[in-house]
Chains A and B, each alone.
Chain A
Amino acid sequence: MKSFYSTTRSSAAQQGHTLVELLVAISLGSVVLAFLGGVLLVSEMRVSARIQRNLDAKDAANRAFDLIRREANFSSRIDYGDGSGTDSLKKCDNTPLILNQNTTSEICYKTVAPSQLQDKYKSAFEGPCVLVRLGPPYKPNGDIDGSSGNAPSPLLDGVSNTSDDCASHDNQGFTAKLASLKTRTDDVLAPPNRFANITFNMASGKSYSFSTRASSNLSYDGRDLFRNCNKEFGLCSGPDSAINHYLPENDMMNNKVPIGSESKDNFFYFKYPYSNYEINTGTCAYASCSVTVKKRGDTLKLERADVLIFPDKEIRPTR
């Protein structure tokens, strides 16, 4: 009698594969799978690296914007340099954007080629152009250190180059279009530019634009707008003789109560953003307005205040 096994394994065609054949098949299969997996992995890594690069670039552009915007907000006027300076990392000649901090300090922004950077930066930037801030460093209290010279700090890599030389005024990789606040007809000085529309054109083809303005707050050295102003003033007359401008911080220290003129509009300027002060709207009227510095606790009582100007807000007390 034939066994069950001998029946089923009677022909050679039903013998299946040998171990060697199986091993060869598995090896070939693994090689093919590994190759396909590798290709997929590499393409996936390339895509994620590209996304990361784009995010990094956007982040760097945002950070450069933020700095320019803040420095402009704290400056008195915005200017440009049309000279043809050769030492592009020392002088603010030939720059599309200069922020005048006060009479002694200025900060400018320009593009240069990575090869023009100091050695310590060269390997860290690829170009074609690099946006550089040229200005004094910062003190820990956030003021710029006017006593130090201008030092170049690269802000943004990968800015495009549309001319022969990154440092040329014709390079459209970084542009600033300036505009003035208003024309002053009653002053001999030319109206200073207070607005700027700034654009970064990146080599990647991306373009970023934003607008910014210089401060109109006397506390941030906006004193070029006004006559008879110096650093110690409490009262400063502006171009418009119908307005008195006060910096009440000085009076707060001396516990004085500044009282505005009855015949003029009285503008009071505060140094810190609005959130640093406490102003009870019920107690802030033209006749008497209480302003408390939150962290210090000292209170200032203003009388005949027409406008309270903070860096980020204006308040007009009720009359």
Chain B
Amino acid sequence: MKLLSRQGFTLFELMITVAVIAIFSSIGLRNTYTFLQEQKLRQASNELLSYLLTARAKALREANVSESGTAKACEVMIDASSNTISPSQSSAANVCNDSPSLPELNLLAASGGSNLTLTASEGSSPFFITFTRMGTVASSNLSNPQSVTLPRTFYLSDPSATQLQRCVMVDLNTLRIGWRNSADEACTYNGH
């Protein structure tokens, strides 16, 4: 066998190959990382929406007459500092505290993310949402009679990639979920 065919690759060729592989994998890894972040945000916002739908269903099903003769409602509290959503404890008329009460949900744990920032279109944490026996979102809350401007939009983002934001819109009878455009900060929602 000729000696030439056993020479293998030069160091230069190897370096070029390694460099090319490095460039391609860095692009791939970056995309994968963004995709994973997107998935976690998507998961966190889906969990939030699903919790609100459950609270709404509970209000529709159970918020009728109470011991005092007045109709109940379901009030949930979103705490941005702990990324949790739970029935608020402050009112006896909160049907979501009635057994079986809605359990507290940690959005960060449920989405498998490492960090989450939750803000709203107005107000500061904790945020309250009250679902009436009609399945509608009330314009004031059980625990706080101050009026609430509808629609309210909640924004979920990962602090390490703030250009990615999910929107959860809560209106009188509409709950919608979508992505926020980082350029004009408007939300576009899925489907109709």
Question: Could you list which residues of chain A lie within 8 angstroms of chain B, going by C-beta atoms?
Answer: 52-57, 60, 63-64, 66-67, 70-71, 74, 120-121, 123-124, 126, 133, 137-143, 145, 148, 151, 153-158, 202, 204, 271-273, 275-276, 293-296
Contact = CB atoms under 8 A, between A and B. Distances in A.
A120 B151 contact: yes
Contacts of B63: 142
Given A154-B171, A155-B174, A52 B142 contact: no
Interface in B40-81: 63-73, 75
A-B pairs, 7 with minimum CB distance: A137-B139, A56-B191, A158-B192, A53-B191, A123-B186, A142-B133, A157-B192
A53 B192 contact: yes
Residue from A55, A138, A156 having most chain B Cβ neighbours under 10 A? A138
Contacts of B186: 123
A21 B190 CA distance: 48
Given A56-B192, A272-B64, A140 B173 contact: no
B138 A138 contact: yes
A57 to B, nearest CB: 4
A63 B173 contact: yes
Contacts of B117: none
B35 interface: no
Contacts of B173: 63-64, 67, 133, 153, 155
A134 to B, nearest CB: 11
B127 to A, nearest CB: 15
B56 to A, nearest CB: 9
B174 A276 contact: no
Contacts of B66: 295
Contact of A140 (B132, B171, B174): B132
Nearest to B121: A120
A141 B132 contact: yes
A241 to B, nearest CB: 33
A28 B66 CA distance: 72
A38 to B, nearest CB: 14
Contact of A145 (B71, B139, B150, B171): B139
Nearest to B151: A120
Given A138-B137, A142-B73, A272-B65, 15 more contacts: A53-B192, A56-B191, A63-B173, A63-B174, A64-B173, A74-B134, A123-B188, A124-B187, A124-B188, A140-B141, A140-B142, A142-B71, A142-B136, A153-B171, A272-B64
